[in-house]
């Protein structure tokens, strides 16, 4: 039976009446309107299977360190320097190489620094032409691993024709003439900047960030701005990302946790400058309720524009409101089994002073006895000043359009786990008991564990984002649970002991116990069992972040079983400004250990760089092509569909247009 020829609107409206195979062909015909078009695309896809597998750059735990993140992306974990050394070794002096790399990494800043001297030398045209020629020697090397359609998609814009000519290398006189014309209007510098960006974009096919974009470091907003500019970036959510998402939705415990981190590390600029969120309501609260409080246990790290005592009082005021908000919420969720974390009603007061608190049946003296906003008769209730402060803060968070855009991007491009062939990624852990059996949670009325737990919680996160702040409900409570719940796959500890570290001297109470997963990941058989739960084979390699690798204590990123790796980037100076990234290549998987970053100006003026120590984790016996990957499976399915469409066109079951 022949399907009559249909125009586009008729094809769309008729899909419901066709069986699934015919419906798929009809949908495919909207994009490939002739047998010739479908056959050509099938041939191109088949050819792409022999191309090398694309390079994947994996980063974790950025924690707001936008400057170092930008450099690690720009130098591709040291790969661009190695590429320049290999391809251009005989064409550049040491000084020229340093300048060329500075322009590759930071074209705008470097050109601003070098352009005056270049113009004064009278060799501007020669410098621009040579720099572009050298850039495109690297481009020609890198583009060999991509389909032409992918390469040309990266060079859309005003320099497209120039770059196509540079890529071919066939008409240098034509290129020179174009550059002379661009120089008249000062557009030649822009060509160099665009060339540098093209090199960087070709240096890896995908950037994968496995969690914790913000907190501790100075500017999470700039971190996300940087990630959004990458041509292909996927994010796996970390527990710190959840509190920012919850704060955007107006969830009070999340708002207060974000504010406490910002006060503790003196990061008001990312709130005020980055997201337009006012913190002045906290100053008003401090003046009203904490004006005489020494707040000695709440002094912040670092420096800022506010005096240290005011910031300490602000952090204390935030912490008390946080404990109240969490206490109210936890009481609504007995299924979480964390009522023991509600501690305010266990504080003993005497003559208006907080004397002691009972935790897990043990009485501890309070190291800070001044709690002016807690009513012992109703300890989880806000006072009038706190209520007014929180209302203004909530409005500021929910009305920040930039925060909304960032959180929408993070949810759209994110998830809780992903795989790239035999490598399984997630931020922290799969919660397990001491014997390695999976721990479970009841989510949406279903008891779930392992992969099912992550998938169910992912659905809750996406659902909460769709509801937005004006329809906030218990889904947002789950977002908080992902931040610090004892069975959260993004957290992996039994508790966050903020109250204890703030108010109790006994350091034993400050201990946060890790989930058994982090010890068991040294067991190769355990990792294989976890991999099977996610549909992986026994060759699985599991990669997580979240936990800094303490090299000074003898820890190693590669676990003793050989099939699990921790790559916490440790970008934050609070963690020592060291850490790891991973690069998945066609022939191997590399682990790069990074040193502290000296800054952009040091790169431009002195040739500074991060020179990572690279270790090959796995080497493949043959160069892996796209045909060997999961992407290859998808491409083969597309080829089969296109071939079916070609047959349908030839047999007249679908009419060509």
In 564-619, the DSSP E strands lie at 564-566, 579-584, 588-594, 613-619
Shared-domain flag, residues 271 and 389: yes
Do 72 and 60 contact (CB within 8 A), yes or no?
A: no
pLDDT at 18: 53
In sequence order, what DSSP letters do the residues of 191-254 get, joined into one string?
Answer: HHHHHHHHHHHHH-SEEEE-S--SSSSS-HHHHHHHHHTSSSEEEE--HHHHHHHHHHTT-HHH
> How many other β-carbons are positioned within 10 Å of the β-carbon of residue 577?
16
Q: Are strands 206-209 and 446-449 parallel, antiparallel or unpaired?
A: unpaired
Is 168 a domain residue?
yes
- In three-state form (DSSP H/G/I as H, E/B as E, the rest C), the secondary structure along 2-65 is CCCCCCHHHHHHHHHHCCHHHHHHHHHHCCCCCHHHHHHHHHHHHHHCCCECCCEEEECCCCCC
Same-domain status, 70 and 26: no
Q: How far apart are CA 473 and CA 626, in angstroms?
A: 44
* Token digits of residue 323: 């404990």
Residue 461 lies in a domain: yes
d(CA 502, CA 322): 13
Q: Is 228 domain-assigned?
A: no
Same domain, residue pair 193 and 178: yes
Both 141 and 171 in a single domain? yes
Task: Provide the whole-model pTM.
Answer: 0.91
Q: Are 402 and 275 in contact (CB under 8 A)?
A: yes
Q: Give the pLDDT of residue 553.
A: 76
Residue 536 domain-assigned (yes or no): no
**Segments of the chain with pLDDT less than 50:** 1-6, 9, 13-17
Phi, psi of 342, deg, nearest 5: -85, 110
> Do residues 448 and 377 both lie within one domain?
no
- Which burial class, exposed, middle or buried, applies to 501 when counting CB atoms under 10 A from its CB (0-12, 13-18, 19+)? middle
Same domain assignment for residues 113 and 66: yes
Question: Does 391 fall in a domain?
Answer: yes
Q: Which residue has the tokens 């006189």?
A: 173
Q: What is the pLDDT of residue 572?
A: 66
Q: Do 493 and 597 belong together in one domain? A: no
pLDDT 10s digits, 374-416:
999 999 999 999 999 999 999 999 999 999 999 999 999 999 9
Angle made by CA atoms 194, 197, 201, in degrees to the nearest 5: 140
Q: How far is CA 222 from CA 55, 269, 273, in A?
A: 25, 11, 11
Look at residue 527 and tell me if it is in a domain.
no
| Judgement on whether residues 176 and 96 belong to the same structural domain of the protein | yes
Same domain for 25 and 60, yes or no, is no
Same domain, 68 and 206: yes
Angstrom CA distances, 79 to 60, 66, 387, stand at 18, 20, 53
Question: What DSSP character marks residue 493?
Answer: B
What is the structure's pLDDT at 355? 96
Q: Which domain holds residue 278?
A: 239-398
User: What is the total count of domains within the chain?
Assistant: 4
Max CA pair span of the chain: 92
Same domain for 45 and 77, yes or no, is no
Residue 278 lies in a domain: yes
Coil, helix or strand at residue 467: helix
Return the residue matching tokens 């400058």: 273
Please state whether 432 falls in left (phi above 0), alpha (psi between -120 and 50) or beta. Answer: beta
Instruction: Identify whether 232 is part of a domain.
Output: no
- The token pair at 268 is 């008001």
| Residue 89 shares a structural domain with residue 173 | yes
């Amino acid at each position: 039976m022949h399907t009559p020829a249909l125009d586009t609107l008729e094809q769309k409206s008729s899909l419901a009446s066709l069986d699934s195979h015919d419906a798929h062909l009809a949908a495919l015909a909207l994009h490939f309107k002739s047998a010739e078009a479908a056959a050509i695309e099938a041939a191109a896809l088949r050819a792409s299977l022999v191309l090398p597998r694309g390079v994947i750059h994996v980063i974790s735990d950025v924690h707001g360190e936008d400057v170092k993140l930008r450099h690690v992306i720009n130098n591709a974990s040291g790969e661009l320097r190695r590429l320049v050394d290999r391809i251009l070794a005989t064409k550049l002096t040491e000084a020229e190489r340093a300048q060329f790399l500075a322009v590759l990494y930071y074209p705008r800043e470097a050109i601003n620094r070098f352009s005056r001297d270049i113009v004064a030398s009278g060799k501007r045209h020669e410098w621009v032409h040579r720099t572009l020629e050298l850039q495109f020697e690297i481009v020609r090397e890198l583009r060999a691993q991509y389909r032409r359609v992918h390469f040309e998609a990266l060079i859309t814009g005003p320099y497209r024709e120039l770059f196509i000519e540079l890529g071919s290398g066939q008409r240098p006189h034509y290129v020179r003439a174009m550059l002379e014309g661009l120089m008249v209007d000062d557009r030649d510098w822009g060509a160099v900047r665009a060339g540098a960006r093209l090199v960087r974009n070709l240096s890896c096919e995908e950037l994968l960030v496995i969690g914790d974009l913000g907190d501790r470091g100075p500017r999470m907003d700039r971190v996300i701005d940087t990630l959004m500019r990458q041509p292909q970036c996927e994010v796996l959510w970390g527990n710190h990302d959840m509190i920012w998402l919850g704060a955007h939705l107006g969830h009070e415990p999340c708002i207060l946790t974000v504010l406490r981190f910002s006060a503790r590390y003196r990061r008001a600029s990312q709130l005020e400058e980055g997201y337009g969120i006012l913190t002045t309501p906290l100053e008003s609260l401090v003046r009203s309720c904490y004006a005489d409080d020494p707040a000695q246990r709440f002094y912040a790290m670092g420096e800022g524009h506010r005096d240290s005592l005011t910031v300490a009082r602000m952090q204390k005021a935030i912490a008390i409101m946080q404990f109240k908000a969490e206490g109210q919420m936890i009481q609504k969720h007995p299924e979480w089994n964390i009522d023991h974390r509600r501690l305010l009603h266990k504080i003993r007061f005497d003559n208006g002073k907080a004397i002691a608190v009972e935790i897990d049946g043990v009485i501890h003296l309070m190291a800070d006895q001044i709690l002016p906003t807690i009513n012992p008769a109703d300890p989880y209730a806000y006072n009038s000043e706190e209520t007014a402060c929180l209302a203004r803060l909530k409005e500021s968070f929910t009305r920040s359009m930039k925060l909304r855009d960032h959180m929408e991007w993070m949810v759209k491009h994110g998830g809780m786990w992903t795989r790239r062939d035999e490598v399984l990624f997630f931020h922290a852990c799969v919660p397990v008991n001491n014997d390695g059996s999976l721990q479970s949670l009841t989510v949406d009325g279903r008891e779930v564990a392992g992969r099912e737990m992550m998938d169910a919680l992912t659905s809750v996160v996406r659902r909460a984002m769709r509801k937005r702040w004006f329809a906030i409900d218990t889904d947002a409570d789950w977002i908080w649970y992902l931040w610090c719940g004892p069975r959260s796959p993004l957290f992996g500890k039994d508790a966050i002991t903020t109250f204890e570290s703030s108010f109790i001297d006994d350091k034993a109470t400050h201990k946060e116990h890790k989930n058994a997963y982090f010890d068991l990941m040294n067991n190769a058989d355990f990792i294989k069992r976890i991999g099977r739960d996610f549909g992986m084979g026994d060759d699985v390699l599991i990669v997580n972040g979240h936990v800094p690798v303490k090299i000074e204590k003898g820890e190693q990123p590669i676990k003793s079983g050989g099939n699990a790796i921790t790559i916490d980037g440790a970008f934050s100076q609070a963690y020592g400004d060291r850490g790891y990234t991973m690069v998945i290549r066609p022939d191997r998987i590399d682990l790069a250990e990074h040193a502290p970053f000296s800054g952009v100006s040091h790169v431009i003026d002195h040739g500074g760089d991060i020179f990572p120590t690279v270790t090959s984790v796995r080497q493949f016996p043959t160069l892996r092509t796209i045909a060997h990957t999961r992407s290859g499976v998808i491409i083969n399915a597309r080829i089969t569909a296109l071939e079916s469409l070609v047959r349908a066109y030839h047999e007249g079951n679908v009419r060509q247009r």
